[in-house]
């Protein structure tokens, strides 16, 4: 089912287009765009003073531009603002960004011609995706520098992503596709660069990964609790009822279902010395559940921002008005992304603590040191924990809220900015490192479950263990563990571990 720009656009639609779904631009969106364009053309013909149309930009807003220079001004803003630097956004992130900007223009409040939206949709459907460096945005007036880089290929300049992901000049690619560069008219260059679609694209895709990560974190926690001879008492339904937090309750139910029927758990039930577990076992549902609550807030915020008109000035066709405001400011996204990063640090941190406990014979209730025989000769999973600890520490650094910072720009005209793109990039990076930490916990927990034989794990944790064993063999002696970590990391990212567990436990929350 194609995704329609200018209509109701969900977060799942954005993810689908990022992965290659077809896009269409149809009535009544086309008519809304035409109506807004008529307002702009009347304003130019009447010689009205309109920011960014008959004036300069930013601190140059008081500089009057001759109407005959209005079109040239629009090309100049795209060129001059395309100053983004650093690594390129991934193809998926750039596709999401292109979709989101086309969608805002198609909502009918930016004043561009339908031709501009059609070209953006055509580029998506041909997978001719602009190469966009990810650094250089202050988050107000939106993601100016990245959006300008996104817009350059529309006018035959800048770069697009080749089949291998490397940037190649856009002009020759347009020629090969028999697509003429656009000649921008009044307001159109400004409409290409003024919005929050860079941070929003990165944030939506990071949030999609975080949703799978949190389910997987519950699976890894259950595997560790079981392998470490923990108790399932903290996951009694009565605890969830006593603390009516939807996220905590969801993780509580997940872990309880994942542990159901465990012979390992039954083997020490009622033990006089295994009465109360360490926090990393006992509080797993609370910590993971808190992140679930944050994710719910983030998804709600990003859903609203996806349907928001983020531009300046904004055209209101019903009133024949073009008004300057602040709808380009990325503070809502910045705060949401900071919240996501903060919440996921707790998930990664508690996951690493469970991994640590499985490796220490003083804490693991009978497992061999570092989960391998002939310790001393073999180091086993010792350095896996080192790496996990390093990633958690880096996550803590990245979780410093970007949205609390601001720096004045444009000769003082733009005196408060959101740093939303920075917040989104940091949240994405925290998601990536948290995925690896959870993968390392699951990898070690699978080893520990095998070491508990002949006791059998629960059906769901056994299924997750077996999924890992499909790619990673039991560690009987030291080997290079990087391929193992990478393999399980991919299972976390693509949801394989969750799907395996759900085959036995049913749909997880």
State residue 53 phi and psi, 5-degree precision. Answer: -110, -55
Helix axis angle, 11-18 to 197-227, nearest 10°: 90
Question: Measured between alpha carbons, how far is 257 from 498 in angstroms, rounded to an integer?
Answer: 13
Q: Which helix (H) or strand (E) holds 138?
A: none
* Cα distances (Å, whole numbers) of residue 343 to 339, 359, 398, 399, 487: 6, 26, 12, 9, 25
CB burial readout 89-122, b (16+ within 10 A) else e: bbbbbbbbbbbbbbbbbbbbbbbbbbebbbbbbe
Helix (H, G, I), strand (E, B) or coil at 3: strand
Residue 153: name the closest of 136, 176, 137, 169 by CA: 169
How many Cβ atoms from other residues are within 10 Å of residue 167's Cβ? 16
Place of tokens 């975080």: 210
Where do the DSSP E strands lie in 17-176? 23-24, 85-88, 133-135, 159-161, 167-169
Q: Which helix (H) or strand (E) holds 169?
A: strand 167-169
Where do the DSSP E strands lie in 304-456? 314-316, 321-323
Q: Are 259 and 235 in contact (CB under 8 A)?
A: yes
Task: Give every CB contact of residue 43 below 8 A, 6+ residues apart in sequence.
Answer: 50, 53, 54, 322
Question: Measured between alpha carbons, how far is 215 from 499 in angstroms, rounded to an integer?
Answer: 10
Exactly one of 51, 279, 297, 386 is catalytic; which is it?
51
Bridge partners for 316 per DSSP: 321
Token pair belonging to 431: 């998601």
Question: Measured between alpha carbons, how far is 160 from 170 in angstroms, rounded to an integer?
Answer: 5
Query: Is residue 297 annotated as part of the catalytic site, yes or no?
Result: no
Question: Measured between alpha carbons, how far is 344 from 336 in angstroms, rounded to an integer?
Answer: 12
Question: Measured between alpha carbons, how far is 457 from 438 in angstroms, rounded to an integer?
Answer: 19
Q: Count the residues in the chain.
A: 509
Q: Are 291 and 254 in contact (CB under 8 A)?
A: no
Check residue 415 and report its DSSP letter.
-
Residue 204: name the closest of 136, 300, 348 by CA: 300
Place of tokens 């990673």: 472
Give me the active site residues, please: 51
């Amino acid at each position: 089912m194609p995704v329609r720009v200018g209509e109701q656009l969900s977060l799942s639609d954005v993810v689908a287009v990022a992965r290659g779904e077809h896009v269409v631009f149809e009535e009544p969106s086309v008519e809304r765009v035409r109506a807004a364009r008529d307002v702009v053309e009347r304003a130019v013909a009447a010689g009205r003073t309109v920011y960014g149309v008959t004036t300069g930009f930013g601190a140059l807003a008081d500089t009057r531009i001759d109407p005959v220079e209005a079109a040239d001004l629009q090309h100049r803003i795209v060129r001059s603002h395309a100053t983004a630097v650093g690594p390129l956004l991934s193809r998926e992130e750039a596709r999401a960004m292109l979709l989101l900007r086309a969608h805002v223009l198609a909502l009918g409040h930016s004043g561009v011609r339908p031709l501009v939206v059609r070209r953006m949709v055509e580029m998506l459907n041909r997978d001719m995706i602009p190469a966009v460096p990810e650094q250089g945005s202050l988050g107000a007036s939106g993601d100016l520098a990245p959006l300008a880089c996104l817009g350059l290929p529309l006018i035959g300049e800048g770069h697009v992503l080749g089949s291998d992901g490397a940037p190649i000049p856009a002009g020759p690619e347009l020629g090969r596709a028999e697509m003429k560069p656009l000649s921008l008219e009044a307001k159109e260059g400004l409409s290409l660069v003024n919005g929050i679609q860079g941070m929003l694209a990165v944030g939506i895709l990071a949030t999609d990964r975080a949703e799978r990560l949190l389910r997987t974190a519950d699976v890894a926690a259950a595997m560790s609790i079981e392998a470490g001879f923990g108790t399932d008492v903290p996951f009694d339904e009565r605890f969830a009822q006593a603390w009516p937090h939807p996220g905590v309750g969801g993780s509580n139910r997940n872990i309880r279902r994942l542990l159901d029927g465990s012979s390992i758990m039954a083997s020490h039930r009622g033990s006089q010395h295994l009465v109360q577990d360490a926090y990393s076992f006992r509080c797993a549902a609370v910590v993971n559940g808190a992140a679930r609550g944050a994710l719910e807030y983030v998804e709600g915020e990003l859903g609203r921002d996806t349907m928001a008109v983020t531009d300046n000035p904004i055209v209101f066709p019903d009133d024949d008005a073009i008004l300057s405001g602040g709808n380009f400011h990325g503070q809502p996204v910045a705060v949401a992304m900071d919240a996501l990063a903060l919440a996921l640090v707790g998930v990664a941190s508690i996951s690493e603590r469970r991994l640590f406990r499985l490796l220490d014979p003083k804490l693991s209730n009978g497992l061999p040191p570092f989960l391998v025989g002939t310790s001393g000769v073999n180091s086993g999973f010792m350095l896996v924990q080192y790496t996990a600890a390093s990633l958690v520490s880096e996550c803590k650094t990245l979780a410093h809220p970007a949205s609390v910072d601001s720096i004045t720009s444009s000769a003082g005209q733009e005196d408060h900015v959101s740093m939303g793109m920075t917040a989104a990039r940091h949240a994405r990076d925290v998601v990536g490192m948290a995925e690896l930490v959870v993968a390392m916990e699951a990898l070690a927990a699978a080893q520990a479950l095998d070491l508990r034989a002949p006791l059998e794990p629960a059906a769901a944790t056994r299924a997750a263990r077996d999924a890992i064993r499909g790619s990673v063999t039991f560690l009987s002696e030291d080997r290079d563990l990087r391929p193992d970590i990478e393999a399980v990391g991919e299972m976390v990212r693509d949801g394989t571990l969750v799907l395996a567990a759900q085959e036995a436990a049913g749909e997880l929350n």
